[in-house]
Amino acid sequence: MTESPSPRQPDLAGERQDPDQEAATVARLLTQGRAGEPDETPRAPRRGSVNAQFEEIFYESFLKFFKNAEAKRRWSIDRDIPWEKTSTNASDVTALIVESFSAVEMFLPDYTHRIMELVRRSRGRAWFQANWGYEESKHSMVLEDWLIRSGKRTEEQVRAFENDLLGAEWQLPFGTPRQMIIYTMIQELATGLNYTNLRRRADDEGDAALARVLRWVSADESAHYNFFRRGVKAYLSLEPEETVADIKYVFEQFAMPAQALIPDWDKRGETIEAAGVYGPKMYLAKIRRPILEDLGISRQQLKAAGLPEAEADAVADRAEERAADAAQALFQRTIFVPPGPKALTPAGRRTVLAIP
Ligand SMILES: [Fe+2]
Ligand SMILES: [Fe+2]
């Protein structure tokens, strides 16, 4: 008589386990995470959607983003900020900028649900959006915490400001997934630059807590930029002409999100610019040009994307020089053989030419 098979258990460690082993595995994962386990390269499963190539790239890109976030970039508002080092001498300008940036982050409900509706059919983009929402949700919370702990705002002031903001709703500035990924790529780099520049002020004013807050937040923004940048590169490889036209259009129309919805934004914007944190000139030099350079597009595409002729030529010339340098370095690595007796033929001549 044969025994009936035992019920299938969840496969937590790559193989079937008995219930005791499984309980031990669950306990270990909950208390220690997966530290020390082999670092496997994520692979996207094949799927048969209409946009299968995009989907494969986006999902694989999301898995890389997620794995990296889980391994290196998760941070806790309570545990990872040295709150005892909050200064009570921060300037009013710094406080106003922190409050303004936290206000931009407060439109999270609109950012998440409106973009989610647009990308709903893409697993890679939708799952990214869910993770993005979690990470962004901490940004307004941690900035508000600093405003209260530093004594620059009372809890009541923060709540009243928050209530004002939540009365307005942000709308999508562009109507297609391709235009929106270009928009979010630009916006994430600009936001990262805002926080990096503000961090310099925090350092100058001796506020180690705010400096650490801004370091974590700008690391998140930089990871978001990278995800969107990889997505735009996918569009460039699969729909080059349409994507370049959209890049031009979105750059020309770009404005940071929700500013029209935030009270006194004109005054806030002037303060931010006067403090050297962000402004229109910075947008052209530190956002538009670096992004176009970063996308690795051709000289003609740079011009078609709206970069002025001389700037496009300078960017393309630099890219060509870098490509030539890389090719030369590869050539040297390929044919270089370290000197030594075994590299010599019996006749005393090298079998392969060594570049000095
Ligand atoms: Fe953010
Ligand atoms: Fe972000």
Residue 165 CA, ligand 1 centroid: distance in Å: 16
Ligand nearest to the CA of 213: 1
Q: Please report the pLDDT score of residue 328 as a whole number.
A: 83
Q: Which helix (H) or strand (E) segment is 70 a member of?
A: none
End-to-end Cα distance, the chain = 77
Residue 124 CA, ligand 2 centroid: distance in Å: 17
Q: At a CB cut-off of 8 Å and minimum separation 6, what does 264 contact?
A: none
Q: Which domains does the chain have, with CATH numbers?
A: 52-302 (1.10.620.20)
Residue 193 CA, ligand 1 centroid: distance in Å: 11
Measure the CA–CA gap between 103 and 285, rounded to whole angstroms.
Answer: 25
Q: Is 346 exposed, middle or buried (0-12, 13-18, 19+ CB in 10 A)?
A: exposed
Report which of 220, 188, 181, 190 is spatially closest to residue 287, judged by C-alpha positions: 190
Measure the CA–CA gap between 99 and 144, rounded to whole angstroms.
Answer: 7
**DSSP code string of 219-269:** HHHHHHHHHHHHHHHHHHHHSHHHHHHHHHHHHHH---TTGGGSTTHHHHH
Ligand nearest to the CA of 102: 1
Residue 94 CA, ligand 2 centroid: distance in Å: 20
Residue 210 CA, ligand 2 centroid: distance in Å: 18
Q: Please report the pLDDT score of residue 32 as a whole number.
A: 52
41-52 pLDDT tens trace: 444 444 444 478
Q: Please report the pLDDT score of residue 6 as a whole number.
A: 42
144-198 pLDDT tens trace: 999 999 999 999 999 999 998 888 899 999 999 999 999 999 999 999 999 999 9
Q: Please report the pLDDT score of residue 354 as a whole number.
A: 33
Q: Please report the pLDDT score of residue 256 as a whole number.
A: 85
Q: Please report the pLDDT score of residue 196 as a whole number.
A: 96
Residue 309 CA, ligand 1 centroid: distance in Å: 33
Report which of 184, 187, 192, 170 is spatially closest to residue 235, judged by C-alpha positions: 184
Q: Please report the pLDDT score of residue 338 as a whole number.
A: 59
Segments of the chain with pLDDT less than 70: 1-50, 335-356
